[in-house]
Amino acid sequence: MAYVDLNPIRAKIADTPETSKHTSIQKRLESRKQPTTHSLMPFVGNPRQDIPKGIAFSLEDDCELVDITGRIIRNDKAGHIDHQQQPILQRLGLSDEQWLTLTTEFEKPFCYAAGAEMMMKQFKMHTGHQRIRGMGKSKKNFRCA
């Protein structure tokens, strides 16, 4: 997956994974801002029992893997992630605490939708809900998104 996600960077079409169009990492990172129903296989972490259907890896680990791999300069590839770029979580505007909350407690604060406050409000209006559970967590965890 990391190899495919880095193709636009290696081809010098994009500078970072989150700006590379038509890749799974870009879709996964965009879905944290805007509620979506994409058909990508979910990350299920590293389960020990009752393995759910999904990728036995976390999104955080995937982002780090792609970011670190993309910084490696290869003579047979045109592009790479510039070493001057901040680490991916910083570029996404998320602190370690925000990322940890979003990846370990995602189901707790959110019910119908998850994302930045503006997107949650749009979802609420679109669906006609009076309230959407998780608005406070959205303000806290997506404040820079």
Instruction: Say yes or no: 8 and 74 in one domain.
Output: yes
Residues 57 and 128 in one domain: no
Range of the domain at 116: 93-145
Answer yes or no: do 75 and 12 share one domain. Answer: yes
Same structural domain, 81 and 106: no
- Of 55, 77, 92, the position where a domain reaches its end is 92
Query: Which pTM was predicted?
Result: 0.50
Whether residue 80 is found in the same domain as residue 100: no
Rg, Å, the chain Cα set: 16
Residues 99-128: tens digit of each pLDDT: 777 777 666 666 666 677 777 788 788 888
Residue 36 and residue 87 in one domain = yes
- Provide the domain count of the chain: 2
For residue range 1-53, list pLDDT tens digits in order: 888 888 899 899 999 988 888 888 888 887 777 666 557 777 766 666 666 67
Return d(Cα 104, Cα 1) in angstroms, integer.
Answer: 22
120 and 78 within one domain: no
